[in-house]
Structure 1
Amino acid sequence: MRRILRSLNNIEEYLIIGLLSVMTVVVVVQVICRFIFKFSLTWSEELARYILVWTTFIGASMGIKRGAHIGIEAFTLLLPEKFRKYVAAFGYILCAIFTIIVFKESSRIIHKQILNHQISPAMGMPMWLAYLALPVGTFLMTLRFGQALFELFKPDKDISAQQRASKEV
């Protein structure tokens, strides 16, 4: 299981690095073409937008894994130590339920996109490829919430997201 999660970590990180690199190059080329050569690439803004959507959802999964998402710990710090894990677990479960619902609904949207053969205006690519970021991202987030829940109940683990993030860096 660790091997699979480590592979998933690597895939997410390399995807983010690759996608952000492509997006940066595309935007820089677009700026150079627009301001130096006085013409505009019709597809560059659309591609950058779709890449941003993909990196957002993959990055959200990475954020869950690293405990980097914003959380309100003021309430949980008021609770006795023995209840904090259970409150955190409840939060992870609620978030996992939400991502499962979003996964299910976004999968329906993908199915409709495939049936309707909708294409993007500038690039002419199937729109389901852009929309696919949502179910892929929410699937990864659901896995990460499950992983966080599992990690929470390991014997020597503390629930503080700050401590988890600092241990991994």
Structure 2
Amino acid sequence: MDIEKEQAELPDVLEITDDISDISWMDYPVIAIFVALIGLVAAQFFTRYVLNDSLGWTEEVSRYFLVLLCFVGSITCVRKGSHIYLEFFYLFLPRWMIKPVAVSAEFITAFFFGWLGFLGMELAYKTKAQYMASVPLPKSLIYYTVTASCFLMAAIAFVRIIQLLRRDAHVIAAEKLDNFG
């Protein structure tokens, strides 16, 4: 079969580009955490399988960096509005109802992240005397970073609410429905 014919039969997928114009200053910490995590896992792999003498601290620190990557990376998702949600429900709503539903969803998101932030403060306070098993650092450092990430996500969600309220309902509906062709 001809390659061009095979490619014509493939479904349309998102085009991958090297455009990084949507990177904000808020994305730099997650990039740094990701690079550090790659280095930690590479060091762990090298010492365990090449040197046959694993560094004991790399597994625990990698686990904590993965948690940080999740929460700090979620800031980018909230900023871009790309968190998982059931987008196809917009297809079943009248166009005039899409804006109130989108604002309500952002409000619920902001409330949820704010609530997580308050719970994170309580957890960080309770664990300030506990230390990591292999590194002499308090576990509360991780929890304070998660808490700060949750509060920043809540703040960004509130900014998104204000942006949605200022925009015309038809423009919001067109953007939400544009994803479905």
Give the structure-1-normalised TM-score.
0.82
Given that 1:58 and 1:140 are in contact with CA atoms closer than 8 Å, whether structure 2 keeps it comes out as no
> What is the aligned counterpart of 1:144 among 132, 153, 156?
156
Q: Distance in 2 between matches of 1:119 and 1:71?
A: 37
Pairs within 5 Å for 1:113-152: 113-114=127-128, 117-152=129-164
Pairs within 5 Å for 1:1-169: 9-10=24-25, 12-114=26-128, 117-155=129-167, 157-158=171-172, 160=175
Given that 2:57 and 2:134 are in contact with CA atoms closer than 8 Å, whether structure 1 keeps it comes out as yes
Given that 2:90 and 2:177 are in contact with CA atoms closer than 8 Å, whether structure 1 keeps it comes out as no
Given that 2:90 and 2:176 are in contact with CA atoms closer than 8 Å, whether structure 1 keeps it comes out as no
Unaligned runs of 5+ in 2: 1-22
Distance 1:126-1:26 versus aligned 2 partners, 3 A rule: same
Select the structure that is richer in helix: 1
- 1:77-120 CA distances to partner (integer Å, 9 max, x unpaired)? 22221110101111111111111111111111111112xx1000
Distance 1:9-1:162 versus aligned 2 partners, 3 A rule: farther
Offset of 1:17 from its aligned partner? 1.1
Given that 1:67 and 1:162 are in contact with CA atoms closer than 8 Å, whether structure 2 keeps it comes out as no
Distance 1:161-1:17 versus aligned 2 partners, 3 A rule: farther
Offset of 1:162 from its aligned partner? 8.5
Given that 1:54 and 1:133 are in contact with CA atoms closer than 8 Å, whether structure 2 keeps it comes out as yes
Q: Distance in 2 between matches of 1:112 and 1:40?
A: 32
Given that 2:117 and 2:150 are in contact with CA atoms closer than 8 Å, whether structure 1 keeps it comes out as yes
Distance 1:103-1:162 versus aligned 2 partners, 3 A rule: farther
Structure showing greater radius of gyration is 2
Aligned-residue identity in percent: 25
Q: Distance in 1 between matches of 2:68 and 2:177?
A: 26
Given that 1:67 and 1:161 are in contact with CA atoms closer than 8 Å, whether structure 2 keeps it comes out as no
Q: Distance in 1 between matches of 2:45 and 2:153?
A: 34
Aligned CA-pair RMSD: 2.1
Offset of 1:155 from its aligned partner? 3.0
Unaligned runs of 5+ in 1: 1-7, 165-169
